[in-house]
Structure 1
Amino acid sequence: MMEVWALSTSTGSGYHHGDLRAALLDSALALLDTEGPGELSLRAVARHAGVSPNAPYRHYRDKETLLAALATRGYTELGERLAEAAPGDDPGAEIVAMACAAVGYALDHPGVYRLMFGQSCSTHPDAIAASDTAMAFVADRIAAVAAPERREALLTGIWSLVHGLSTLLLDERLGARTRAEADALVETVVRTMLGTGLERPDGESGAG
Structure 2
Amino acid sequence: MFAMPYPAKLTPDAIATQARVLLEGGGPEALNMRPLADALGVRPSSLYRHYADRAALLSALTEIAARELRAAMAGAAAGLNPQAGLLAMAGAYHAYARAHPHLYALLLDPARPYAPAGPLKDLWNTVLEQVSAVTGRPDDTGATVAVWAFLHGHTLLFLGGQFGPSGDQGGFRRGLEALVRGLLTA
Asked if the contact 2:94–2:151 (Cα under 8 Å) also holds between the matched residues in 1, the reply is yes
SS in 1 for 2:78: coil
Q: 2:181 matched to 1:195?
A: yes
Q: How big is the shift at 1:188?
A: 2.9
Percent identity reads: 27
Q: 2:149 aligns with which of 147, 160, 178?
A: 160
SS in 2 for 1:195: helix
Deviates more, 1:85-94 or 1:95-104: 85-94
The two structures have a TM-score, normalised by structure 2, of 0.83
Give the total of aligned pairs. Answer: 181
Gaps in structure 1 of 5+ consecutive residues? 6-15, 200-208
CA–CA separation in structure 1 for the residues paired with 2:146 and 2:155: 14
Q: How big is the shift at 1:51?
A: 3.2
CA–CA separation in structure 1 for the residues paired with 2:128 and 2:139: 11
Distance change in 2, residues 1:81/1:130 (3 Å): same
Asked if the contact 1:168–1:174 (Cα under 8 Å) also holds between the matched residues in 2, the reply is yes
Q: How big is the shift at 1:125?
A: 4.7
The two structures have a TM-score, normalised by structure 1, of 0.75
Asked if the contact 1:78–1:105 (Cα under 8 Å) also holds between the matched residues in 2, the reply is yes
CA–CA separation in structure 2 for the residues paired with 1:54 and 1:99: 41
SS in 2 for 1:172: coil
Structure number with larger C-alpha Rg: 1
Cross-structure match for 1:71: 62
Q: How big is the shift at 1:115?
A: 1.9
Q: 2:135 aligns with which of 134, 146, 153?
A: 146
Q: 1:169 aligns with which of 155, 158, 165?
A: 158
Q: How big is the shift at 1:41?
A: 0.9
Cross-structure match for 1:123: 113
Cross-structure match for 1:4: 6
What amino acid is the match of 1:94? Answer: G
Report the RMSD for the aligned CA atoms in angstroms.
2.9
Gaps in structure 2 of 5+ consecutive residues? none
What amino acid is the match of 1:154? Answer: A
Distance change in 2, residues 1:149/1:81 (3 Å): closer
Asked if the contact 2:115–2:121 (Cα under 8 Å) also holds between the matched residues in 1, the reply is no
Deviates more, 1:53-62 or 1:153-162: 53-62
What are the superposed Cα offsets for residues 111-165 of structure 1, whole Å, 9 maximum, x if unpaired?
1111221252x32759x62111011111112222204289222211110011111
Asked if the contact 1:87–1:93 (Cα under 8 Å) also holds between the matched residues in 2, the reply is no
SS in 2 for 1:162: helix
